[in-house]
Amino acid sequence: MSVSRRDLFKLAGVGALVSALPSKSSFAAAEKVGKMGAMLPPPKGNRVVVCGGGWAGLTVAKYLKKEDPNIEVVLIEKRPNFFSCPISNEWLADLVSLDFLSHDYNQPAAKYGYKFINATVLGIERDKKRVYTPQGYIEYNYLVLAPGIRYNYSAWFKDDKQMAEYARVHYPPAYIPGSEHLALKRKIWEFEEGDFVITVPPGAYRCPPAPYERAAMIAYVFKKNKVKGRVIILDPKGDIAPKGPGFRAAYEQLYLGIVEYVPNAVIKEVDPVKKIIKTTAGDFKFADANLVPPHQAGDLVWMADLIAKDKDGKPTGWADQDPITFQAKADPNVFLVGDVIGGVPYPKSGHMANSQGKIVAKIIASRIKGKEYKPTLPDNTCYSMVNGDPQEAIVISVTYELKDGKIEPKPKVINERSKALADATYEWAKAIYRDMFA
């Protein structure tokens, strides 16, 4: 294998491995990746490697095997267990248990016949159709990248990685499953008094209603525990969206004096040490916070060099894929699915990722069979809990239509909160969990 030093760095990724190491160590690590042997023997038939075991990746893996049991499917995920971000706001408020959100990867892999590998992807070589893990490389015929999101702290702190890490550890965003959620829950339940600030990311981000639902759930906890505190939402937008009337009604009728919504609060500076945020709507000091930086497509899409560029040639931060087939524009053998995608009016949600995963599975299976398949458009449903006692929720459902070459959303919103919608929230979650795991 003959690759340049630059190629080796690219092979080892722009993310966790190389950026965390000194220069010589980085080169040595990248060189080691480049010399790795095969982890699996070459595919005998068609092998699809799915990187990312979230809602999209799990759905693609299962439905590929259902479409054609002869396809060899390999799912690679760095986390040993599945933790659901959808419904995690309810868990923060103690409305559901951790068991409700947690699932194991081995059961669906054994049931549907795909191979689950618990490993971190170190590199991707599209020209050789290889994915590198610490145990060696895996060859593929088709590659599906579904790594979710990453945080863009450089928008706040430029190259100051120490400050970014300080903010992440002390004021975790909790938009990526794991320890951040545990830390945020502890903060909420131990909060005694003062202002608790939530920052809404600018542009596209994972689960658009999530910060507003989270604010309602934190306010519910403060109200229940008689905490002398406020939840301040700093939103760069001019108004809450989606489900604005439903959230505003909840804030005014259930949490008056507890929730303060601040529109047009574009962040100019964040100082997590001094606990102050400067915005276009004023400066805000905080006692504690849920600091959520801008989001981007996950590291693997950057590693594969499949990020879209704007008219000036700068990265948009999101994947560059065909809006109908989800194929990478630069590589028809790679599919980009879930929260990584850009350039289409799809929200980055669990339901949407599950819906896209089924479509991508049909496209790949049809292509392997040499058959034509006319893809359908995905759909989305998103419930938001706004009250904890009694439990009440609101909802948005969206279908999409292709008109004059453009994808147009057709939303239906119920902003009147109700217990029936709270019950439907959990039934929706159980149904999707069954779809991915049972």
SS3 125: strand
- Confidence band of 375 (pLDDT split at 50, 70, 90): confident
Q: Where are the beta strands (DSSP E) in 28-89?
A: 47-51, 72-77, 81-83
Residue 390 preceded by cis peptide, ω within 30: yes
pLDDT at 31: 64
Confidence at residue 13, expressed as pLDDT on a 0 to 100 scale: 43
Query: Could you tell me if 436 and 354 are in contact, meaning their C-beta atoms sit under 8 angstroms apart?
Result: yes
Q: How far is CA 384 from the centre of its chain?
A: 17
Residues 384, 209: contact at Cβ < 8 Å? yes
CA–CA separation, 49 and 40 (whole Å): 12
Angle between helices 419-437 and 350-369 (to 10 degrees): 30
pTM for this entry: 0.93
Tens-place pLDDT, residues 279-332: 999 999 999 999 999 999 999 999 999 999 999 999 999 999 999 999 999 999
Note the pLDDT tens digit of each residue in 160-216. Answer: 999 999 999 999 999 999 899 999 999 999 999 999 999 999 999 999 999 999 999
Q: Which domains does the chain have, with CATH numbers?
A: 35-148+298-377 (3.50.50.60), 156-294 (3.50.50.60)
Amino acid, single-letter form, for residue 102: S
Structure tokens at 217: 């759930």
Q: pLDDT averaged over the chain?
A: 93
